[in-house]
Amino acid sequence: MSTVVEQAIADLPVPRGWRWDVVVRPRRRTLGIEIAEDGRVLFAIPADADPKEIADAVRGRMPRLAAEVRRRQDLRAAEPVKDLIGGEGFAYLGRRYRLKLTADDAGSHARLRQGWLELPRSRSAAADAGPLVEWYSSRGERWLAARLPPLASLAGVRDPAGIEVRDLGRRWGVCSPEGAITVHWAVIQLPVALVDLVLIHELCHLKHPGHGAAFRGAVRLALPDADVRERRFAQEEPRLWRGAVSSPRH
């Protein structure tokens, strides 16, 4: 069925440069459209979807979809790039720290010390963001592990299966059917209130897989000011550093 629907969509005047996929979700009764942060479009269809009806629905939403895809692609093109030099600013839980290059004997890992984010000089010379990404991931995972239980209680979720921090590409968080939550390391740059929003979002997905009224109601029950936080998140999201660094200067 998905192949037939894919052909029906491909026959539409789909804008050049679009990346899109069709996935069958048996629990759905109508077409669902999701747009990833990088502009990729996912069409979620019921198992018994009628290709013509799906194509007609996509055609009717095409102008709005095209505008949103273009917006997200533009945001990605403007992704922040950091210089791994002394004094460069990095955020952690909403606070700004300046980078301090240290002697190699200070250790091979990045660390937060006396108000500075320290990075061994040899690592910065290679323009390698790896040590900083590792620092965000390891420190963030410890912080989130302690943060998760009270938020799970707030969301009405019992015993989530744990949390992991890693690079999720253009996604900020995901949850598994087994109840485990994964968060993008870049989220750790956000203020605590917005990190909580990401966690509550994923915790509520453990009860409500889609983004329908039940899901939105669960998020707002846990966070009555979710609308305010979501607006703040939309403002902060384009400024999040995802690991892009400038080439070394000679």
For 72-121, the pLDDT digits (tens) are 777 666 678 898 999 999 999 999 999 999 886 555 689 999 999 999 88
CA gap 126, 204 in Å, rounded? 41
CA gap 203, 133 in Å, rounded? 24
**Which pLDDT belongs to residue 126?**
57
- Contact yes or no for 243/207 (Cβ under 8 A): no
167: Cβ contacts below 8 Å, ≥ 6 apart:
133, 184, 185, 243
Q: Which structure tokens are listed for 218?
A: 């669960």
The pLDDT tens digits of the residues spanning 154-170 come to 999 988 888 999 999 87
Kindly indicate the confidence band of residue 230, based on its pLDDT and cuts at 50, 70 and 90.
Answer: very high
CA gap 39, 231 in Å, rounded? 19
In order of start, what are the domains of the chain with their CATH numbers? 2-77 (no CATH), 89-239 (3.30.2010.10)
Cβ neighbours, 10 Å, residue 101: 19
CA gap 101, 70 in Å, rounded? 38
CA gap 36, 170 in Å, rounded? 7
Q: pTM here?
A: 0.69
The neighbouring-strand residues paired with 24 are 45
Say which amino acid occupies 166.
Answer: R
